Structure 1
Amino acid sequence: MVSCVEAPLFNTHSFVESTAFDPTQLDLVELNNRFESATPQEILSWAIATVPNLVQMTSFSMGAITHMLYSELQTKVPVIFLDTLHLFPETLATAENAKARYQLDLHVYKAADSREDFIARHGDYLWERDVSQFHQLTKVEPMQRALADLCVQGWITGRRRDQSTNRSTMPIVELDQDGRLKINPLANWTHKDIWRYTFAQNVLYNPLHDQGYSSIGDQPLTTKVASGEDERAGRWRGSEKTECGIHQ
């Protein structure tokens, strides 16, 4: 495995040594003020030019950011996908379709080799017995492993402020709990904005959206959303849980 000191830069517009980049030295207040009026493409362009070992994290629900990176900005930022082994078949198919269309530099991380292997280790229906442990094993640990393996110094998410009340004050750029830069270029976009872009650019998206799923996670923990509900109301329905753990 390549060490972080020796890791190549994933962006092609920066010649800063990865060891010289320190996200904690960035003026996040100034950046967030500047980016409030910027387009997602402008924010992504800044990140590509500034942040060594930059990656995108995606669940293959909506493909706007991947399309911007690979089609509009013509860059091959590595894409991390967490296969929890409990995803909808449509989600896995969307991942394969996106990989083929965009020739993605795709890195898939799992908690085990197969769902059967996961059940043998942890038992079935773990999400019913201990949903926090389920997410720790299927999302948090694989994500931490991915970020470490790829020597990540900045990662891109697709979160938006209008998705739920707990995301309503989310900054565009922030530091994660380990001091990496976390970039949310769609923070200011609305539900209408992302669908307008998706149709205008013929962007791939998960077909479950056409079946009433507005936010798509693990199959046993995701339900359809009724008119008037929050976009993420179908996640962990009936519980107080609002995040899976990777964005805590």
Structure 2
Amino acid sequence: MLEIADIGLRFGGVQALDGVGLTVTQGSIHAVIGPNGAGKSSLLNCISGLYRPARGRIVLHRGQGTGGTDALLGLEPHAIARLGVARSFQNIELFRHLTVLENLMLGRHTRMSLSLLPSLLWFGAARRQEIAHRELVEEVIDLLALQAVRHKPVSTLAYGYAKRVELGRALCLQPSLLLLDEPMAGMNAEEKEDMARYILDVNELAGVTVVLIEHDMDLVMDISHRITVLDFGRLIADGTPEQVRRDPRVIDAYLGKEAS
């Protein structure tokens, strides 16, 4: 579904990504792991259009019979989102003064077609459009068990709920490709189990392809179909969880000797 080839990204004297390439299979959960500063978030930022690498190629193959192929490099983030690429962030990036429901509805903005004036009047076509989009948002609320907090401002939520809302906002875009940057960071064991279940449901039930950055190696090994390992901006391994677990380069750079 996603082809990345020879990505090069530099910040001044720092080479954040150096010739990184990988292929993400449609319908899979593909994890990207590595030490802090390895270039993982920079790679997601290149895919979603927040960073523009100096060289390389990123191509999205749209599934479900569309046969479409899109080169993502050079596109603005909103244009990439319209192609069905959604993401969450390592640090929560929600509108804290808005409610959970309002934040989720914002995830539908790329799918709304009416101009500003009819939307402000909220009459006729604008009202019908919002009701139709609200139906999908309600499905996301049910999927992520957010009913109890739907009308609460995001600023009042516990951390685990806020991370869940950010996942929900990405899902409201109805993505074919979902980029998750450390969705379990800062969570306790129970919250991590819940989030892992939600990600599996999205992947298995909705058929959404997931690219996941995560530091919890037990969880990564359990839910991922394929794993790519970065170190100092370079790709050092790519394979199944079992292959990566036993790769000497990965053990030396990241996992440690206990993984051997």
Same fold (TM over 0.5): no
- TM (norm. structure 2) is 0.27
More strand by percentage: 2
- Max Rg structure: 2
